Structure 1
Amino acid sequence: MLIAQLDGRKVALWGWGREGHAAYRAIRTSLPGLPLTLFCLADEVADARALGDPRLVIEVDASAAHLSAFDIVVKSPGISPYRAEAVSAAAQGTRFIGGTALWFGGHAGQDGIAARTVCVTGTKGKSTTTALLAHLLRAGGHRTALAGNIGLPLLELDAPPADQSVAPEVWAIELSSYQTGDVAASGVRPEVAVVLNVFPEHLDWHGSEARYVEDKLRLITEARPVVAVLNAADPRLAALSLPDSQVRWFGNDAGWHLRGDVLYRGETRVMDTAALPLPGRHNRGNLCAVLTVIEALGFDAAALAPHAATFRPLPHRLQTLGARDGLTWVNDSISTTPHASLAALDCFRDRRVAILVGGHDRGIDWADFAAAMQHRAPAAIVTMGANGPRIHQLLEPLAGAGGFTLMAAADLADAVVQARTALGGDGVILLSPGAPSFGPYRDYVARGRHFAQLGGFDPDSISAIPGLGVA
């Protein structure tokens, strides 16, 4: 759908975070006279009123009855379409779309393809992969936009520059499972779509593991990218049939893959990745995805691969903050699944580690994490947050035999105190919660910033995401 097609319809915005602000500005720029209604939280009303927009009605009751009064509701990604009020309104004819769908609607070529768009998703690693893609393309002299779920809504970059010579040559777009369906709903095909891996997450938004997988994979099963770049090591992906897309695999012997720490393209050795600023073997493996994309775009991937050495790691993702009193502080606040916590532990398997786990309870099973603690446990595990007691109960029978100390904390500050005590001035304090931050914190960034403060580090200096926008 094009923004221009909203004209003459009853339109509402639902959500007033950064995506909501971006959607408002994009619609208002194109349709200054269109009446709009905004559904937002009570503490956001004053900010919305400060716009001074006489054609904007502000509501706080996003009930099914109110939502169903509109033809189109442009909702923020964090609002699930599976909520009862959304389902009811949709049944009465209201169409729910997101800013991602509006952006793709405005970027379709005559063939229905959004040229030079690369959409990246996956349960783990999508932000680093998207940023690394932009970094390598820019190193090769290709003007690239870095946007999407990584921290810059696409609609914030929607207005084309007056000088088309500085327009992006390639769009590197990160998409969460909340946004992949928007690409499919837009009816516009991305040129390249990447899926790194799929395992359970965001079950409260999607409602079930099956629906999460289905929604995540809509980027390739329904959006029908021209090229689908897939991880050959992921069994769900390996089983897919995509008749409308050319499939390029990474992680197998025929394509880009790792043998130990050495990067190969087929049987050709390219370089050693051990010293790259990509913490964890999984991130070095995602370099294979990036190089596969670069090839799909028609560029020389082997020539660009060495530029990974100058990549700046993203904040809150296995981010080493520094050392204090013999302890190394590592901020992996973005970790929201037990699988992510296990991957983080693997990065420090030769060090004494106290890992802090727990947060908002989405009902995800920690059985695989517990099983792994029987043979690769850290020195200490500190549980915290709403699902902390559940994790603690699962791990308690294993603590003695597993050789790790198990502690329960009231909150993050208490968890840090207990981790310090457990390590005794030697080791790594690793925040890799395996759960969302909701409750005590607005998001994983706020949680990571608090962790940095508790360690004695400046939260502002560790939080900026490099490279957002067009460069």
Structure 2
Amino acid sequence: MIPVQGYAGQKVAVLGMGRTGRAAAKALAAGGAQVVVWDDGPGGREAAENDGYDLLDLTKPTSFEGVTALIVSPGIPHLYPAPHPAIAAAWDEGVPVDNDIGLFFRSFATPDWHSFDTPPRVIAVTGSNGKSTTAALIHHILVENGRPAQLAGNIGRGVLDIDPAHDGEVVVLELSSYQTDLARSLTPDVAVFTNFSADHLDRHAGLGGYFAAKRRLFAEGGPDRAVIGVDEPEGRYISNQLSEGAEDDRVIRISSGQKITAGWAVFARKGFLSEYRKGRQVGSIDMRDIDGLPGAHNHQNGCAAYAACRTLGLGPKGIEAAMRSYPGLPHRSQLVGEKDGVRFVNDSKATNVDSAAKALTAFDNIRWICGGLQKEGGLEALLPHLDRVQKTYVIGREAEDFARQLTGADCAVCGTMEEAVKCAIADAVPGDVVLLAPASASFDQYDSFEKRGEDFMAQVTRHIA
């Protein structure tokens, strides 16, 4: 645990008592703060009382008397579509609002570091897609190369749940827009921006607000090194804002598909990763047979992880060896099994149109299972990739509307995962890939994308065992 610094003897309120809120309350108490908590749900309040915390209804007038700060869990809106009443009340009373990420960055460094030979480092990864894979891959590469490392944030452990840093340790954080948007302190040593596409538009009041939340990691944090995906205008904008010129090696530009030779760059084309510095190639990896990183989108993730690890002094050969042993993450291009020449791939994490499109480009002869709770923007961006799809099997509450938008596709409206897997298996022939890449949120039928992926795997296992 990381005890929170700066609040000893002060009254601090925590709003939301899920995993993040409970960890924040514990870390605040460990740092000597007087912690009061509130949750809108009776279950959360009961859990907090069982943990020994005092409840304070933060939505009532005068609740913030004597409160030094309000710490908010990431799922609670703080601005759009509308601020939570407790947050609005904190604003009115002049009480600073922060989150666990802000607490982490103000508390991670300790006086113990003066005795370390090598200061601990923080690598923070954000972007629309590929954050989890990139963060997990960086962590895997570090560990395989003998570097002490912890993985936390939106993946692995909560940021305040990790152990205090050891000499030379690297903490790898995956940070969502919900987390970067509110944190009052953002000071990573290395910041990574994977890519950008529309997502969470209601929470950020549109594409501009969503981008602004991502950009804060670079604009507010001032990292020593920035690894920026430049395949979209937003990434090119950030890299230009941070760089003092083409040869400024504080910025490493990454790409999947385009060659970059100016400055420090890492890019992948046709499955080959190349690193260029000052116009010369200094490293390369053939990624085509790395099982844990299939497809161009994962090659982009590989470029980001490679670049981040190079900033820490790791060599290309050590990085490549670790990439080849990377097992991949559950629900992200995860090979579930194979039978009679048909492969089954679980990409339940493809919760938006852009991530689903990238999943479709990674395979041929696809039996595509998709559908769920649609996000803003429609499905038009998927249409250019339907030439890889043999047939589509649509699930979810909005299955019929989803199928209508896939113009020209051979669609079967299945409704449930069980029916979709059954139909796909019945239609599949050797060489096909049955791919779950929903392009939608899961909440119409499942509690999470993990539960959706687990259902897919269970249905597949039942049929191929």
**Residues 170-209 of structure 1 correspond to what in structure 2 (within 5 A)?**
170-183=170-183, 185-186=184-185, 188-209=186-207
Contact 1:229-1:293 at 8 Å conserved across structures: yes
Task: Please name the residue that 1:42 is paired with.
Answer: 42
Residue 377 of structure 1 and its aligned partner are, at CA, apart by: 4.4
The amino acid across from 1:333 in the alignment is S
Q: TM-score, normalised by structure 2?
A: 0.84
Counterpart residue number, 2:402: 391
8 Å Cα contact 1:76-1:98 kept in structure 2: yes
Matched, 1:429 2:444: no
Conserved 8 A contact 2:3-2:30: no
* Cα separation, partners in 2 of 1:303 and 1:416, compared to 1, 3 Å: closer
Q: Which residue of 2 aligns with 1:463?
A: none
Deviation at 1:21, TM superposition (A): 2.2
Contact 2:5 2:106 in 1 (8 A): no
Separation (CA, whole Å) in 2 of partners of 1:173 and 1:73: 23
1:274-313 to structure 2, matched below 5 A, reads 274-277=288-291, 278-313=293-328
Q: 1:127 aligns with which of 118, 122, 132?
A: 132
Q: Secondary structure at the match of 1:212?
A: helix
- Residue aligning to 2:389: 378
Question: Which position in structure 2 is the counterpart of 1:156?
Answer: 161
Measure how far apart 1:226 and its partner are: 1.6
Shift of 1:457: 6.2
Unaligned runs of at least 5 residues, structure 2: 114-118, 245-249
Matches of 1:343 and 1:191, distance apart in 2? 29
In structure 2, what is the Cα distance between the partners aligned to 1:71 and 1:243? 34
| In structure 1, C-alpha distance between the alignment counterparts of 2:351 and 2:383, rounded to whole Å | 16
The answer to whether the aligner puts 1:84 opposite 2:83 as a matched pair is: yes
- The 2-side partners of 1:4 and 1:294 are apart by 29
Determine which structure has greater relative contact order: mean sequence separation of CA pairs < 8 Å that are 6+ residues apart, divided by chain length.
1
Q: CA deviation at 1:126?
A: 1.1
Deviations 1:207-256 (A, max 9, x none): 21211111112111222212111123222111233348831212343222
Aligned to 1:342: 357
Is the 2:399–2:415 Cα contact (8 Å) retained in structure 1? no
Query: Cα offset for 1:283?
Result: 0.9
Answer yes or no: is 1:452 the counterpart of 2:465.
Answer: no
2:380 match: 367
User: What is the identity percentage for the equivalent residue pairs of Structure 1 and Structure 2?
Assistant: 27
Query: Which residue of 2 is the match for residue 469 of structure 1?
Result: none
CA distance in 1, matches of 2:309, 2:431: 42
Q: CA deviation at 1:30?
A: 2.1
SS of the residue 1:442 aligns to? coil
- 2:142 touches 2:148 (CA, 8 Å); kept in 1? yes
Partner of 1:242: 241
- Give the aligned residue type for 1:317: R
Whichever residue aligns with residue 237 of structure 1, its letter is: G
* In structure 1, distance between residues paired with 2:345 and 2:354: 17
Aligned twin of 1:26:
27
Aligned length in residues: 434
Cα distance in 2, alignment partners of residues 228 and 424 from structure 1? 45
Matched, 1:228 2:253: no
Q: Distance in 2 between matches of 1:275 and 1:424?
A: 24
SS in 2 for 1:409: strand
The answer as to whether partners of 1:37 and 1:57 remain within 8 angstroms in 2 is yes
Change (3 A) 1:38 1:273: same
**Deviation (angstroms), 1:273:** 1.2
What is the CA-CA distance between 1:406 and the residue it aligns to?
A: 0.8
Q: Assess, with a 3 A threshold, how the Cα gap between structure 1 residues 279 and 362 changes in structure 2: closer, same or farther.
A: same
Report the residue type matching 2:29 in the other structure.
R
Change (3 A) 1:129 1:105: same
CA contact (8 A) 1:12 1:39 kept: no
CA contact (8 A) 1:80 1:206 kept: no
SS across alignment from 2:228: strand
The corresponding residue for 2:420 is 415
Partners of 2:63 and 2:357 lie apart in 1 by: 42
Q: Deviations over 1:341-397 (max 9, x none)?
A: 111111222x2x221222223323321113443xx24111122324434322222xx
- Give the aligned CA root-mean-square deviation in angstroms: 3.0
Cα separation, 1, equivalents of 2:22 and 2:310: 36
Q: 2:70 touches 2:90 (CA, 8 Å); kept in 1?
A: no
With over 3 angstroms needed to count, the CA separation of the structure-2 counterparts of 1:96 and 1:389, relative to structure 1, is: farther
Q: Given residue 380 of structure 1, which amino acid in structure 2 is its aligned partner?
A: K
Label 1:91 to 1:14 Cα distance change in 2 as closer, same or farther (>3 A): closer
Partner of 2:371: 358
What amino acid maps onto 1:137 in structure 2?
Answer: L
Match of 1:264 in 2: 274
User: What's the counterpart of residue 214 of structure 1?
Assistant: 212
**Which shows bigger deviation, 16-25 or 422-431?**
422-431
CA drift of 1:271 comes to: 2.9
**Aligned partners of 2:430, 2:63: CA distance in 1, in Å?**
56
Q: Aligned partner of 2:214: which letter?
A: K
Q: Is the 8 A contact 1:320 1:331 kept in 2?
A: yes
Q: Matches of 1:425 and 1:65 in 2, distance apart?
A: 66
User: Structure 1 residues 26 and 133 mapped into 2: Cα distance closer, same or farther (>3 Å)?
Assistant: same
Amino acid at match of 1:213: F
The one-letter amino acid paired with 2:27 is A
Which residue matches 2:247? none
Correspondence 1:323 to 2:373? no
In 1, Cα distance between the equivalents of 2:286 and 2:431?
30
Task: Call closer, same or farther: CA 1:243–1:195 in 2, change over 3 Å.
Answer: closer
Measure how far apart 1:150 and its partner are. 1.1
* Partner amino acid, structure 2, of 1:232: V
